[in-house]
């Protein structure tokens, strides 16, 4: 399984959220989600969404997962290549616990290649709820074009 994640904060700190989606090798959606995290920082939102994505994958019984994030901070933290301040260690320790339940790898993806995850993260910030989508037709209307672009392998231009 391949899953893309992105975290976002409107202000830093400010209302934050994250989103992600999982697809199979054919590019078809397995699930997508967004979550609101309340007032928080962008970096903590990036770690929290990674945790959430991994937890959802494990709950679906997927034990071999390739993760993609456009955050170098998250990739380095996941790989143990950075020394994190105490305020981020809680989420990293939770991520480390989930890593023991499967085989997880992570890679850095260009921001333009993570459009759907970014769109879902913005929905998490705006809605401050937790929603799991199991069908592409159930995706928020504002993210459906981003899904189609991703499915055909085209990047998306992010609006500021």
| pLDDT tops 50 at residue 9 | yes
pLDDT confidence of 96, banded at 50, 70, 90?
very high
Q: pLDDT tens digit string along 48-94?
A: 999 999 999 999 999 899 999 999 999 999 998 877 677 778 999 99
Residue 81: C-alpha distances to residues 50, 72, 73, 151, 160 (Å): 16, 10, 9, 31, 30
The confidence score (pLDDT) of residue 155 equals: 62
The confidence score (pLDDT) of residue 24 equals: 87
| pLDDT tops 80 at residue 113 | no
The confidence score (pLDDT) of residue 112 equals: 77
* Stronger pLDDT, 52 or 24, i.e. the higher one: 52
Q: Order of strands across the sheet with 2-9?
A: 103-108, 64-69, 2-9, 14-23, 29-40, 130-133
Residue spans per domain, the chain = 2-151
- Name the CATH topology of 2-151: Nucleotidyltransferase; domain 5 (3.30.420)
């Amino acid at each position: 399984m391949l899953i893309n994640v992105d975290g976002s904060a409107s202000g830093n700190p400010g209302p934050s959220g994250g989103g992600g989606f999982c697809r199979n090798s054919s590019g078809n959606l397995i699930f997508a989600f967004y979550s609101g995290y309340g007032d928080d920082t962008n970096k903590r939102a990036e770690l929290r969404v990674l945790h959430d994505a991994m937890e959802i994958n494990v709950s679906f019984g997927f034990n071999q997962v390739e993760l993609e994030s456009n955050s170098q901070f998250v990739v380095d933290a996941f790989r143990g290549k950075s020394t994190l301040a105490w305020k981020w260690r809680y989420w990293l320790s939770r991520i480390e616990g989930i890593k023991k339940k499967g085989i997880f790898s992570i890679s850095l993806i260009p921001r333009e290649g993570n459009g759907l995850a970014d769109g879902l993260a913005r929905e998490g910030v705006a809605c401050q709820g937790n929603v799991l989508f199991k069908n592409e037709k159930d995706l928020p209307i504002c993210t459906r074009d981003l899904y189609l672009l991703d499915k055909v392998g085209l990047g998306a231009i992010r609006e500021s």
